[in-house]
Amino acid sequence: MTGFSKKSAGKSGSDVPKLKAQLNAQHALFKLANLLDWESLEQEFGTTMTTDGGRPPLPVRLMVGLHYLKALYNESDESVVAKWVENPYWRYFCGEDTFQQQLPCDPSSLGNWRRRVGVDGLEKLLSQVIKTAMQCEALPSNDVKQVIVDTTVQEKAVAFPTDARLYDKARKVIVRAARKHQVKLRQTYVRVGKSALLKQSRYTAARQGKRAQKQTRMLRTYLGRVI
């Protein structure tokens, strides 16, 4: 064990195998990393955001690569930064050539960078992707004659406002208002209301309409009693 440690400690930085030599050259991200015109992107976005404390500016390829990965895999700012550490192809795509154990940047830096480049800068990123895809014949020219704009945003955990949820939400609002104004309620129905809403959702998913309607009526009754 001691001999292994001495051998490892004696390795210089040049002896460490490069990340590029350990990856599959046929991987899609590996190919895309070699096809994109990073030099033009660096010239275009050379004035990238700097971090706090007078640190040097973040690399343009890192910020551009993270935004490509974010859009390609439908990630958030926090998740794309966290997965960058775990995925060697993501690191290579963003210009890293060695193994890293630390986050490339703070997730808030991505939002700051987007505000810095503005809408025009993001449009230039999109045009560069389309240009590269056409050069490698991954996107036929006929597919870009007509562009369809979709305003759908990233999925969020937003529940549909059913009657049962609205009854329960209204009861919670009234209870909070009563506590704020120091109005003593005889009963708040917190525990039974939560149970009734859970049962209503399960009965609805199981297509047991009568049972679901019964729980909805109970939630409406709880709301009426609180009022």
Mean confidence (pLDDT) of the chain: 79
CB 90 within 8 A of CB 121: no
The domain spans of the chain are 15-144, 163-226
Torsion angles phi and psi, residue 117, rounded to 5: -80, -25
Whole-model pTM over 0.75: no
First to last CA, the chain: 73
**pLDDT, tens digit, for every residue of 173-210?**
999 999 999 999 999 999 999 999 999 999 999 999 99
Of 90, 14, 103, 121, nearest to 58 by C-alpha is 103
pLDDT higher than threshold 70 for residue 26 = yes
What count of other Cβ atoms lies within 10 Å of the Cβ of residue 60? 20
CB 193 within 8 A of CB 168: yes
